[in-house]
Amino acid sequence: MRSWPASSLRRLPGRGLPVRLHDTATRQVRPLSPGPLTRLYVCGITPYDATHLGHAATYLAYDLLTRQLADAGHEVDYVQNVTDVDDPLLERAQREGVDWRDLADQETQRFREDMVALSVLPPRHFIGAVESVPDIAAVIETLAAKGATYRLGADVYFPVSKAPRFGQIGHFGYDQMLALAAERGGDPNRPGKHDPLDPLLWRAERAGEPAWDSSLGRGRPGWHVECAAIALRYLGMPIDVQGGGMDLVFPHHECSAAHAEVATGRWPFARSYVHAGMVRYEGHKMSKSLGNLVFVSRLRADGVEPAAIRLSVLGRHYGRAWEWTGDVLDEGRGRLRRWREAVDRPAAPPAHHLLDEVRRYLADDLDAPAALRAIDRWAEQARTSGGRDPQAPALVRDLAWTLLGVAL
Ligand code: 5CA
Ligand code: ZN
């Protein structure tokens, strides 16, 4: 699939610090220590509705990560998928009487436009499930050759008993895993499964559903093996970071990692599993299935500046859940206005120390709220006591753009 255009970064004096991130599997904030090339895989959208603020917050978290890695001198090989065939997309298309392909194309395009507006750096590879069907089928064949598949009717399942580390990413108890699988696209109650948690690898063709020919028979791929196959094909193992929202810890990331580890006979699939907190709205997780959504495109159409949306989101730590409200947006707008007033001055307080401080906070598990407060203090000082450094406004403009993606 086509990715979206990148906006260019500006060079900052000095260099960013090594990044530390919270890893769900070890439950620790740990150094990433990637090689010159950082391999990042982030789970992308299922394109049946427009980008909401929850999606935006998740992609902004990895955008922030990409910016810090680039500032620290790493090249980032970033892959993001698009689940352009799956149950919720097919159900929505059917309900609205549109072709599922048209719905997916249209919503994927809207997502690209929202990402460009929000200055989110593009993945190097933006890969759909449909274009990956042969790669996915190949991974399932490898699993079959290793005895790690079984048939239920014409469908193909993965026995979690073949994955020795299954459960070690999310650390959930068995009953919790059952409940989460039922809630998030699994079928624990289907009779005949070896273990209720076994995920579907290949769904044989059903009347009225899209299907592709493969050595497994005509059908379509399961969800978790989609991400395993795309990550293996475009990045290889181990990847440095597997990213996505907290709702993907189980079963999605647990199962993708299990597929990849059993297929390759190596582990870990990812050195770090990094998860963004859920954005809530009106008291519940913002979600397409609940319908309590605030769309990025709606805010933009209402005249809200993307930089204000970014600042609103970056004012919350990526790893924690938070609630979207009008106050959150007002805070982002107010901040943007105060920062712009400060950088519009001919001179301001020196900002080299501020750059160090912002780099330090962002390298420490992407602590954007602390970085924003540091810039607030500098802007407040500029307002109350002026300052005499004629280069400082340009430096703050550059650091806000390059490290935070905020155009001042
Ligand atoms: N296509 C799959 C991943 S392979 C999927 O989960 N698609 S999605 O459209 O439902 O979500 C896209 C991304 O946004 C995922 O990383 C998901 O974890 C994240 N996300 C969804 N809802 C929220 C929310 N309310 N807050 C934060 N992130 C969210
Ligand atoms: Zn995924």
Reported as a single tens digit per residue, the pLDDT across 54-81 is: 999 999 999 999 999 999 999 999 999 9
Rounded CA separation 362/292 (Å): 31
366 has a pLDDT exceeding 80: yes
pLDDT in tens, 116-154: 999 999 999 999 999 999 999 999 999 999 999 999 999
33 has a pLDDT exceeding 90: no
Across 324-347, average pLDDT? 97
CB atoms within 10 A of CB 125: 17
Atom of ligand 1 at shortest range from CA of 277: 27
Tell me if the bond preceding 369 is cis, omega within 30° of 0.
Answer: no
pLDDT in tens, 163-179: 999 999 999 999 999 99
Burial 346-372 (b: 16+ CB within 10 A, else e): eebbebeebbebbbebbbebbbbeebb
Pocket-testing residue among 41, 248, 274, ligand 1, by greatest number of atoms within 8 A of Cβ: 248
- Our answer on whether the CB atom of 54 is closer than 6 Å to any ligand 1 atom is yes
- Our answer on whether the CB atom of 185 is closer than 6 Å to any ligand 1 atom is no
- What pLDDT, on a 0 to 100 scale, did the predictor assign at position 35? 82
- Our answer on whether the CB atom of 165 is closer than 6 Å to any ligand 1 atom is no
What are residue 178's phi and psi, to 5 degrees?
Answer: -60, -45
- What pLDDT, on a 0 to 100 scale, did the predictor assign at position 290? 85
Distance 252 CA to ligand 2 centre (A): 7
Rounded CA separation 85/129 (Å): 7
First to last CA, the chain: 32
State the ligand closest to the CA atom of 294.
1
Mean pLDDT of the chain: 97
Atom of ligand 1 at shortest range from CA of 279: 26
305 has a pLDDT exceeding 90: yes
State the ligand closest to the CA atom of 225.
2
SS (H, E, C) the chain: CCCCCCCCCCCCCCCCCCCEEEECCCCEEEECCCCCEEEEEECCCCCCCCCEHHHHHHHHHHHHHHHHHHHCCCEEEEEEEECCCCHHHHHHHHHHCCCHHHHHHHHHHHHHHHHHHCCCCCCCEEEECHHHHHHHHHHHHHHHHCCCCEEECCEEECCHHHCCCCCCCCCCCHHHHHHHHHHCCCCCCCCCCCCCCCCEEEEECCCCCCCECCCCCCEEECHHHHHHHHHHHHCCCCEEEEEEEHHHHHHHHHHHHHHHHHHHCCCCCEEEEEEECCEEECCEECCCCCCCCCEHHHHHHCCCCHHHHHHHHHCCCCCCCEECCHHHHHHHHHHHHHHHHHHCCCCECCCHHHHHHHHHHHHECCCHHHHHHHHHHHHHHHHHHCCCECCHHHHHHHHHHHHHCCCC
36 has a pLDDT exceeding 90: no
Burial-class residue 381 by CB neighbours within 10 Å (0-12, 13-18, 19+).
middle
Residue corresponding to tokens 């540091």: 374
Distance 257 CA to ligand 2 centre (A): 10
CB atoms within 10 A of CB 10: 12
Q: With bands split at pLDDT 50, 70 and 90, how would you rate the model's confidence at 291?
A: confident
Rounded CA separation 333/120 (Å): 19
Q: Label the pairing between strands 37-42 and 279-281.
A: unpaired
- What pLDDT, on a 0 to 100 scale, did the predictor assign at position 192? 97
Across 303-308, average pLDDT? 97
Distance 378 CA to ligand 2 centre (A): 40
16 has a pLDDT exceeding 80: yes
- What pLDDT, on a 0 to 100 scale, did the predictor assign at position 376? 98
Threshold 0.85, pTM exceeds:
yes
pLDDT in tens, 203-256: 999 999 999 999 999 999 999 999 999 999 999 999 999 999 999 999 999 999
Evaluate whether 186 touches 223 at the Cβ level (below 8 Å).
Answer: no
- In this structure, which residue's CA is closest to atom 23 in ligand 1? 54
34 has a pLDDT exceeding 90: no
The fold adopted by the segment(s) 20-281 is Rossmann fold (3.40.50)
Q: How many CA atoms lie within 13 A of 260 on its CB side?
A: 25
Q: How many CA atoms lie within 13 A of 173 on its CB side?
A: 2
- What pLDDT, on a 0 to 100 scale, did the predictor assign at position 132? 98
Evaluate whether 270 touches 40 at the Cβ level (below 8 Å).
Answer: no
Distance 22 CA to ligand 2 centre (A): 19
Q: Calculate the alpha carbon distances from 59 to 45, 48, 242, 273 in Å.
A: 10, 17, 13, 15
Distance 58 CA to ligand 1 centre (A): 7
Q: Which two tokens stand for residue 130?
A: 């449909």
pLDDT in tens, 368-402: 999 999 999 999 999 999 899 999 999 999 999 99
Distance 273 CA to ligand 1 centre (A): 15
- What pLDDT, on a 0 to 100 scale, did the predictor assign at position 393? 98
- What pLDDT, on a 0 to 100 scale, did the predictor assign at position 351? 98
State the ligand closest to the CA atom of 51.
1
Pocket-testing residue among 41, 45, 273, 324, ligand 1, by greatest number of atoms within 8 A of Cβ: 45
- What pLDDT, on a 0 to 100 scale, did the predictor assign at position 49? 87
Evaluate whether 105 touches 1 at the Cβ level (below 8 Å).
Answer: no
Rounded CA separation 191/204 (Å): 17
- What pLDDT, on a 0 to 100 scale, did the predictor assign at position 289? 79
Residue corresponding to tokens 């042969």: 134
- What pLDDT, on a 0 to 100 scale, did the predictor assign at position 134? 97
**Overall residue count recorded for the chain in this entry:** 408
